[in-house]
Structure 1
Amino acid sequence: MIILGIHDGHDASASLMIKGKIVAANQEERFSRLKGDYGLPLKAIRCCLKQGNISINNVDEIAVASHTLNPVLLYIKRNANFTVSDWVKEQEEYWYKVFYLKKKKINYYKIFKNRFKKLDKYYDFKNLLNLYNDRDLIKKFKEIRLECISKNLNFPKNKIRFYTHEFCHIYYSYYFYPERKNGIAITSEGIGDFSNGSVGTIKNNEYKLNSYTRKNHLGHIYQYITLLLGMKPNQHEYKTMGLAPYASRYEIDKIYPFLDEVLRIKNLNITFKKKPKDLYFYFKKIFHGARFDGIAGAVQKFIELKLQEWFLNCKKELKLNRFYFSGGVAQNIKAAMFLNNSKNLGKVIVPPAAGDSTLSIGACYHSMHLKNLEKKNKDKLKISPIKNMYLGYKNNPKDIEDYIYKHKLDKKFKIIKNYKPERVAKIISKGMIIGRCCGSMEFGLRALGNRSILADPRKFETIAKINHKIKKRDFWMPFTPSVLFEDRNKFYKNHKNLNAKFMSMAFETTEFGRKNLKAAIHPADFTIRPQTVKREDNKSYYDLIKSFKNITKVGALLNTSLNLHGMPIALNHVDALYILFNSDLDAMVFDKIIVMKKKL
């Protein structure tokens, strides 16, 4: 059984499952170079097929995540194309008129017509751009998507199936890890096919939906407050989360009550306590004159406490104390840490990249789950967990050598061939900052060593250098470490033995961790979002960290994604060398070659 999973909304992606195992997964943004790209992910699909060494004719089914997508937003690639000014424009010229002036038939598309160069080029949008929220048009768009996928991939329509958005999240969170026990599956996000919050149970591999709502606005509140802080919604919520620990209790307590009065827990879900006309203008008025850090701290506290109350309520009513948490809100790692630190809650399991980018994987799992329900016990197919996220495009060393020769890089750079990991470890230990573009690309939000910027985690001054001269990002944002699996307990406290391979969980640090990871933990609250590395998962990266430990006695490296601010993570050697040429990185490490800047 071969299944090709497709997600064509924002953060579009493709995944390939063969005999119940995910063998490839790619995000379209890595190929198009448009962060958060939308639409039919043709380049990602082709890469997945190439990785699996199959043609589209070998595929038994195409599993498409989500029945409903808004054609207007997809056409203009809203989340990918919008600047902060565009988001404000949307609020002022569309939503304000809808909520406050009661104008119901404003042409949303006309507000942004001719604003963007990168528009969707695959789907047929004829007669679909006049209204923003028309359910009949959204239903019609599903038929257009089906037609387009079939035509562009030369694949029969009767072998293309659409799967419910929320359930793709749920089956991804359940099947990702090997430990699959009875528990409560919870989604919380901006919007899915039928909800923005759902609660169900998984018992003996069977899922039952217990409750859902469209009033669970945890994600929207965090999104609009991110915008009010001058940052991009649906991309920069992590910046709000990173800013929150700097706030004093005094500033948080001034703002928190205004958030707390909006939502409440009712039975198995979240609904309004006090419903404002809208969320953006409501909070804009209330927060006028408030400190920016206090706002960030208050909304983080609000998310944590509301989730805790919600999860405890679900535990009480459903008599289960294990949680599978997914959707955009689940990507708030500090909230997940808060939940796992709650004494009365069992394990809260969050898979990596729990938002929409992994819907293509979830669609594959959803498809296999349904097929197994139709089979007798002895005929059921094994559904494999995902051991690592190195599921993407793989470098070809010859391409790199040819590029270096063609562009005569040896005239401008020091070229080191057939190096050993000790050589790279020594470079890092001397305070230099390198990029690493090796092996298969990671899927998801986090760089896990193969498309990473690496540095000495002991040197606090490294933070400023990377932030200002390389990543060009906000000064308050923390970095994270990759640590040897066997040394993990030296650096942080993991009381519930949560999987920390993917930088999707946060923990409190130990005294040793605070001392030796000064540049790779949060400077304000000393929390850590680690990647533990086993040799069996990534031999060359493990050997590099081990070599660094042999020199420094610290089995960890500072690890941040290999990209410039606002750009997707590097795909290949061309992207990696562009970053080297346009930043203060000292070197770029490939599988067999180091390209190093010559000292003046």
Structure 2
Amino acid sequence: MIVLGISDSHESHACIVRDGKLVAVMAEERLSRLKADMGYPYRSIDAVLKIAGVTPTEIDVVAFAGAQGNHFQRLFKMNALFSVKEWIRQCREFWKPVLMEQQPLTAWDDFVQSRHVRDAEDLRRDPYYAFVERAEQASPKEWSRIGNMVRMEAVERHLGIARENIRFYRHEDCHKIYGYDSWPKRGEPALVFTIEGGGDDSSATVSIAENGQIREVWKSNTVQLGRLYRYVTLILGLKPAQHEYKVMGLAPYSTEYHGKRSLEFFRTIHRVEGTEIKNIQTIPDLYFSVRDVLESERFDGIAWGLQTYLEEVLCEWVVNNINHYGIYNVVFSGGVAQNIKACQKLNELPEVKEFWVGPISGDGSLGVGAAWLAHRQQGTTSLIGGLPTVYLGTEWDREAIDEALERHRLCDQHARVDQPTSEQVAAWIDQGYVVARFSGRMEFGQRALGNRSILADPRTHKSVECINQKIKFRDFWMPFTPSMLYEEVERLLENPKNVYSPFMCMAFDLKTEFVDALPAVIHPADKTVRPQMLKREDNPGYYDLIAAFKKLSGFGVVLNTSFNLHGDAIVESPDDAIQTFLKSDIDILLFDHVALVRDTVIVNRVLSIPQEITAV
């Protein structure tokens, strides 16, 4: 059975699942180059078909994530194209009149106000544009049905697949299935929690997974934790649906002294009652109402108060459910599950036996959940192969890379090292140079895990300064992260439960004695790290590079950040990699068979083997 999974929400993507095994995933942003792209992912669909070697006629089921949703937002690509100013305008011109003044506006009015963010011609070419023409003449009650009809028509035009083979799955169900079926110990009983800004009909759920089935035992559409985090992000002048992680990263810089009043306010919104999260008060508008209350509070104190409140609610909620149901394994999914500090707190709970959060647990994995749901619907749950790897994207051969290098005439401008070894690359990093690595199949998800990564020395804060000044231009408070040999985990991290975290989904405390030794990969305020724990079987080439660096430095750790410029999607192709190299001051661009070095002095100094260098 071959299933094409599609998510057209923000972080839209496509995947192929063959007989339960996930064989290809592609995010639309990697191909369109529009970060957080949303809408019908036709480029990604074409890409995963090519990667998997599947033709449209071989597809048995097309599985869409989301049975409802705001189709207008897919058209004006809100989460991708809205600036902070546009988000505030929408709050002022649409949400405030609707929520606080009870004006009878609809999503159509929001679309009319917002459509200018997208080029008019580009909008009319959108595969979903027919929705606009039909929705204008229809009742809002018909929009969901019309939207799904337009989605089916897009697939029919694109792939020639009959509508009876296209299915729609509830947004929340896709989250919970992705979370549970990506768990290496799926099959064991678990409590599955989802929490997010909003799904088809809920913002938080609790389910019990046992005997191969997942049964929802509670849901609520009034839990506002995800939406609250979104709009506090906006209140702090950051971009919602993309920059929540910056609020999380800011929080540890403050303390109770500056955040106490913010925390006290947040505590008036929800409380945990037994196994449920209940409202203490209903805040109709989460931007203006919250902004006015927090108007005199320090920005970092607001972040601290929000993060502390989120952790309090989640921990109490999870513990109460564990005690009630007597199930001690926890799977966490949905947008809020991308909060790595909250995940750390949940993992550390003594009541939790096993804690799991999958990579890209937000909407960027919904299509995978939908594809696995289609398999479950066919009674083939036992075939689902989980997520043994995230290297599920495109791979470029030597010929394609050489053609790109020639096209950009890169070898005319920079020194060339053929067949660079792990030892040579490790030596460059040891000498303080920044290396951009483009190798093998691209990673699935928001985290670069070695194949589309920028690497640097973790032992000096100069690495952070260099990357920020030359390449990333990141906010000053945001830390960088490490890739770490699995054999180093016990030595370096506080990890009493021996958790294996290969996807950078959770924070850990670095042991005190290593804080000064690895300043470039810790959070400066709370001394935590968000590691990629790496076993050799997961990525032999990358493992060998880090192992070679350990021989030089004493640490099987490198700084690893995604290979992209600030605000861009992670590079997908050799052309993307080269353009990023040319637009930045990356020292070395590394492919498997060749490295391009910005200055031959670097190579001469590090390698001391001039005959290996080709320069013009």
Following superposition of structure 1 onto structure 2, how do residues 64-83 of structure 1 map, counting pairs within 5 Å?
Answer: 64-83=64-83
| Structure 2 residue aligned with 1:309 | 316
Instruction: Note the C-alpha offset of 1:585.
Output: 0.9
SS at match of 2:415: strand
With 106-115 and 85-94 compared, the bigger mean Cα shift is at 106-115
> Which of 140, 157, 161 is matched with 2:163 structurally?
157
Residues 513-565 of structure 1 show CA distances to partners (whole Å, capped at 9, x for unaligned) of 42332101111101011001111111111111011111111111000001111
Q: Could you say which residue in structure 2 is the equivalent of 1:446?
A: 447
User: What letter matches 1:549 in structure 2?
Assistant: K
Asked if the contact 1:105/1:131 (under 8 Å) is kept, the reply is no
Separation in structure 1 between the aligned mates of residue 7 and residue 432 of structure 2, nearest angstrom: 41
- Report the counterpart of residue 118 of structure 2 in structure 1: 116
2:148 match: 142
User: Quick one: distance in 2 between partners of 1:31 and 1:138?
Assistant: 28
CA–CA distance in 2 between the matches of 1:101 and 1:567? 38
CA distance in 1, matches of 2:386, 2:547: 27
Counterpart of 2:342 in 1: which secondary structure?
Answer: helix
Is the alpha carbon distance of 1:324 and 1:396 closer, same or farther for their aligned partners in structure 2, counting shifts above 3 Å? same
CA displacement, residues 266-316 of structure 1 (integer Å, 9 cap, x when unaligned)? 343323101123111111101112111100111000100010111122123
Could you say which residue in structure 1 is the equivalent of 2:419? Answer: 418
**Paired residue type of 1:294:** G
- Is 1:372 aligned with 2:340? no
One-letter code of the match for 2:215? K
Per-residue CA shift, 1:73-98, capped at 9, x if unaligned? Answer: 01100000101111011111111111
The 10-residue stretch of structure 1 (102-111 or 233-242) with the greater mean CA deviation from structure 2: 102-111
Tell me what 2:613 maps to: none
Q: CA deviation at 1:440?
A: 0.5
Is residue 417–residue 593 contact of structure 1 (8 Å, CA) maintained in 2?
A: yes
Give the aligned residue type for 2:376: H
Counterparts of 1:129 and 1:294, CA distance in 2 = 44
Distance 1:297 1:130, change over 3 A: farther
Secondary structure of 2:432 counterpart: coil
Which AA in structure 1 matches 2:510?
Answer: T
Find 2:257's aligned residue among 250, 263, 279: 250
Question: 2-side partners of 1:538 and 1:108: how far apart?
Answer: 46
After TM superposition, give the deviation of residue 104 of structure 1 in Å: 1.6
In proportion to residue count, which structure has more helix? 2
- What residue in structure 2 maps to residue 376 of structure 1? none
Structure 2 unmatched runs, 5+: 602-616
Q: Contact 2:423–2:549 at 8 Å: present in 1 too?
A: yes
Q: Counterpart in 1 of 2:275?
A: 268
What is the rounded CA distance, in whole Å, between the counterparts of 1:131 and 1:185 in structure 2? 41
* 1:69 counterpart SS class: coil
Structure 2 partner of 1:492: 493
Residue equivalent to 1:325: 332
Amino acid at match of 1:160: I
Code of the residue aligned with 1:530 in structure 2: it is P
| Aligned partner (choices 352, 355, 370) of residue 348 of structure 1 | 355
Aligned residues of 2:131 and 2:146 also touching (Cα < 8 A): no
**SS of 1:114 mapped into structure 2:** helix
- CA positional deviation for 1:231: 0.4
Q: Alignment partner of 1:113: what SS?
A: helix
The answer to whether the 8 Å contact 2:61/2:167 transfers is: yes
Distance in 1 separating the partners of 2:136 and 2:353: 48
169, 174, 182: which one aligns with 1:168: 174
Counterpart Cα distance in 2 of 1:188 and 1:427: 43
* CA offsets 1:365-423 (integer angstroms, 9 cap, x no match): 111122227xxxxxx74211211110001122211112222332222101111111111
Runs of 5+ in structure 1 lacking a partner?
374-379
| Residues 163-562 of structure 1: pairs in structure 2 closer than 5 A | 163-180=169-186, 181-372=188-379, 381-562=382-563
Change (3 A) 1:309 1:134: farther
Shift in alpha-carbon separation, 1:260–1:432, aligned structure 2, 3 A: same
Q: Is the CA contact (8 Å cut-off) linking 2:183 and 2:386 kept in structure 1? A: yes
Q: Is the 1:433–1:454 contact (alpha carbons within 8 Å) kept by the matching residues of 2?
A: yes
Calculate the TM-score normalised by the size of structure 1: 0.96
Q: TM-score under structure 2 normalisation?
A: 0.94
Give 1:377's aligned residue. Answer: none
The structural deviation recorded for 1:144 is 1.4
Query: Contact conserved, 1:6 with 1:14, CA < 8 A, in 2?
Result: yes
Q: Name the SS for the 2:283 alignment partner.
A: coil
Distance in 2 between residues matched to 1:567 and 1:169, nearest whole Å: 26
Work out whether residues 414 and 600 of structure 2, in 8 Å CA contact, stay in contact via their aligned partners in 1.
no
What RMSD in Å do the two structures reach over aligned CA positions?
1.7
